[in-house]
Amino acid sequence: MTNPTAAPLDVPPEKMPRHIAVIMDGNGRWAQQQGLPRIEGHRRGVASVRRIIEECTRLGIEQLTLYCLSSENWKRPPEELEFLMHLLEQYMIEERTTILEQNIRVAMIGRRAGISDEALREIDKTVELSRKNTGLRLCLAINYGSRAELADAARSIAEEVRSGKLTPDDVTEETVESHLYTAGMPEPDLLIRTAGELRVSNFLLWQISYAEIWVTDLCWPEFDELQLHTAICSFAERDRRFGGLTG
């Protein structure tokens, strides 16, 4: 198929999403449909990650957040989880040069407990080396769960109230936002989910309050630049009122 990035995306700059978040679903399902082991689906999914990051960089998207591993995914078979940790480690090593050359800034959200030391070491190294980059912010949600994030934020705020830094009356929506893993990041404008599932799966529950949702039946290994363009075009056609009226 011809690479769709050969032609510019016909969307006015003011209609482009600032922040795209993606629930990358269907790697294992795709593999099983092809008669392949589930882990092969994860391997093929990395190719989609690479394509979408490069295209978001080309399009000037400010932030791309990828749901890499949920806090519920630890229920999966140990050999699959071990492979995912290895894949994370390998990705950080192999893509680091490209990430730096493309001025991408990497961030990670989620709890660190449970992630292998080897994967954490390579993630931390890439985050530090790319810290001063000014292009696309690539936010990787690893061992992430939004309910856990909200609980962590509530705990942190409670500690500040107990210490006298805050009073209960000081706690506002802005206070909560400043204690989330995503503090300082823009909220997602567009949420993409692959594999046809119509749920948000404990992903950025606070942050996607006003995000536009776009779902495709294609599994993540099948997702490419053309699908990304289709999602962005759909987003650009929507009337975002944020609870108000237009016109």
Give 243's DSSP letter: T
Catalytic residue among 10, 27, 73, 103: 73
- Beta 63-70 vs 19-23: how paired, if at all? parallel
Catalytic site includes residue 73: yes
Q: Which of 25, 27, 143, 189 is catalytic?
A: 25
The DSSP-derived string for 192-239 is: EE-TT--S-TTSSTTTTTT-EEEE-SS-GGG--HHHHHHHHHHHHHS-
3-state secondary structure of 67: strand
User: What is the C-alpha separation between 110 and 73, in angstroms, rounded?
Assistant: 13
Angle among Cα 184, 229, 246 to the nearest 5 degrees reads 65
Three-class SS state of 12: coil
133 is catalytic: no
Q: How far apart are alpha carbons 202 and 186 in whole angstroms?
A: 19
Tell me the helix, strand and coil percentages in the chain, rounded to 5.
Answer: 50, 15, 40
Q: Which residues are catalytic?
A: 25, 73
